[in-house]
Amino acid sequence: MWPDDLDLSAELATAGARARDSVAAHVRPDPAYAAALRSRLLAPLASPAAIPAVPRRRAGIRDILSVRRLAPMLAAAMLVVAMAAAASTVLIGNHPVPPPTPVPSLPVIVGPAGGGLLASDSPSPTESASATPTPSPTPSATATPQPTPVPTVTPAPTVKPTAVPIATPKPTLAPTPTPKPAIGTMALALSGCNGGTVLEWSKVADARFHHYVTLRSTSSAIPASYPASGGAVEVAGTFSKDPATTSAVDASAPTGVSLSYRTLALDAGNAVIAASPVRSAIAKPVAALGTLSAAPAGDGKTTFAWAPYGGPGACFTYYKLVHSETDTTPSYLEGSAAWAAIGDQATTSVTLTGPVSGTTYHVRLQAVRATSLGAMVVAQTDVLTYPAP
């Protein structure tokens, strides 16, 4: 039995789908585009749902070969071929692809006179003998697919590592030494006397002052530093914290030897704040004044007489008439009592009421050089043993 008009439309749709699938086996068009194209091409055809149902009857060859039935079948076959060609053109024009594989033409078999039009994937030998194949459209030879451009990959530039400078260690800065204050200048006067050397220096008026000290050396090179160095020694009895004490004696100086001296003013840390120039002097032995005489002067008085000291005035301060009842060598510097003190160097006698009648005394006259830091005997008489009358 040959299908009626409704079956023929369905088979034509199936044949068109197969043709499209065969043509686009490798490269299919965009689904949305294909659906839109199919809608436009099939719009003129009536929807199967709109066709009224007709009672099925057996169709004969006459019905199949009638113009009313044959014309739509031929038009549908031509429409299928046109759709396949259009799809191929769209696919080749819009998407560069390799040359398509030739697609076999869709065979159209025309039956015997009065029969119907059939479409089959595998026609029978009888049908193939009478059917005339419709050639498939061949893609244009001039449509050469364009190769897909290969993007040029630009290699990333090699980033050279930045050289990190080696940190140069900063030199340790030595602290700038605080300059020492300039050392002040002092005056110094020496007197080579009998019994030793007399030292006299100028007063230092400095807020840093702490004490004085005098150095002695057999060399004239005495460094202005403390403690003593370079062979110098400190003179005993010259240390003083009173800035007004500016004189001393060196009773330990050996006689007949030239000695050099330097007086320094120091702060609390023994740093020198002032220094005198170096001066030299020669000490002499204690001078002998000869015999001391004593004579009663009446009314319980006694007169003592001596020879005057003839040394320089710088070496004389006063005379001391000392006595002791037990010490046979009385001396003022050793603590013996004195009956008189005479400041005139030229004086040669003194009358006093000191001696007690009936008492025996050991008496001596001494010439003394006194300073603010000490004293020394420069001359003296022999010891007189005197029993008071």
pLDDT digits (tens, 9 = 90+) for 167-201: 677 777 777 777 777 899 999 999 999 999 999 99
| CA-closest candidate to residue 311, choices 151, 205, 196 | 196
Question: Taking a C-beta distance cutoff of 8 angstroms, is the pair 222, 308 a contact?
Answer: no
Give the relative orientation of helices 67-94 and 31-42 as an angle to the nearest 10 degrees.
150
Which one-letter amino acid corresponds to residue 336? S
The two structure tokens encoding residue 369: 């050089």
User: What average pLDDT does range 283-298 have in this prediction?
Assistant: 96
DSSP states along 277-294: PPEEEEBBPPEE----EE
Among 23-37, 83-97, 267-281, 332-346, where is mean pLDDT lowest? 83-97
The two structure tokens encoding residue 17: 């789908």
Residue-wise burial string across 320-353, b where 16 or more C-beta atoms lie within 10 A, e elsewhere:
bbbbbeeeeebbbeeebebbbebeebeeeebeee
Among 34-48, 83-97, 203-217, 348-362, where is mean pLDDT lowest? 83-97
Phi, psi at residue 6, to the nearest 5°? -65, -40
Q: Which helix (H) or strand (E) holds 75?
A: helix 67-94
Residue 117 pLDDT more than 50?
no
At 86, is the pLDDT very low, low, confident or very high (cuts 50, 70, 90)? low
Q: What are 302's strand-pairing partners?
A: 296, 352
Which has the higher per-residue pLDDT, 22 or 65?
22
User: What average pLDDT does range 268-286 have in this prediction?
Assistant: 97
pLDDT at 187: 97
Question: Taking a C-beta distance cutoff of 8 angstroms, is the pair 262, 187 a contact?
Answer: no
pLDDT in tens, 139-166: 444 455 565 666 666 666 676 666 666 7
At 111, is the pLDDT very low, low, confident or very high (cuts 50, 70, 90)? very low
User: What average pLDDT does range 235-256 have in this prediction?
Assistant: 97
At 11, is the pLDDT very low, low, confident or very high (cuts 50, 70, 90)? confident
Residue 383 pLDDT more than 80?
yes
The 3-state secondary structure of 143-166, one letter per residue: CCCCCCCCCCCCCCCCCCCCCCCC
Q: Which helix (H) or strand (E) holds 115?
A: none
At 41, is the pLDDT very low, low, confident or very high (cuts 50, 70, 90)? confident
pLDDT at 125: 42
At 10, is the pLDDT very low, low, confident or very high (cuts 50, 70, 90)? confident
| CA-closest candidate to residue 120, choices 156, 151, 157, 77 | 77
pLDDT at 294: 96
Where is mean pLDDT largest: 18-32, 61-75, 118-132, 255-269? 255-269
Q: Which helix (H) or strand (E) holds 58?
A: none
Give residue for tokens 């008489």: 381
pLDDT at 52: 54
Question: Taking a C-beta distance cutoff of 8 angstroms, is the pair 225, 204 a contact?
Answer: no
Which has the higher per-residue pLDDT, 193 or 36?
193
Length of the chain: 389
Helix (H, G, I), strand (E, B) or coil at 256: coil
Question: Taking a C-beta distance cutoff of 8 angstroms, is the pair 346, 362 a contact?
Answer: no
Query: How far, in Å, CA of 106 to CA of 102, rounded?
Result: 12
User: What average pLDDT does range 224-232 have in this prediction?
Assistant: 94
Query: How far, in Å, CA of 205 to CA of 186, rounded?
Result: 10
Residue 343 pLDDT more than 60?
yes
User: What average pLDDT does range 54-75 have in this prediction?
Assistant: 63
Query: How far, in Å, CA of 263 to CA of 199, rounded?
Result: 9
Tell me the C-alpha to C-alpha distance, in Å, between residue 285 and each of 84, 106, 254, 256, 261: 156, 163, 9, 8, 19
Query: How far, in Å, CA of 296 to CA of 352, rounded?
Result: 10
What residues have CB less than 8 Å from 170, skipping those under 6 apart?
none
Which has the higher per-residue pLDDT, 296 or 160?
296
User: What average pLDDT does range 342-358 have in this prediction?
Assistant: 95
Helix (H, G, I), strand (E, B) or coil at 29: coil
Which has the higher per-residue pLDDT, 20 or 51?
20
Give residue for tokens 């603010």: 372
pLDDT at 292: 98
Residue 119 pLDDT more than 50?
no
pLDDT at 220: 93
Residue 222 pLDDT more than 60?
yes
Residue 330 pLDDT more than 70?
yes
Mean per-residue pLDDT of the chain: 80
User: What average pLDDT does range 240-263 have in this prediction?
Assistant: 97
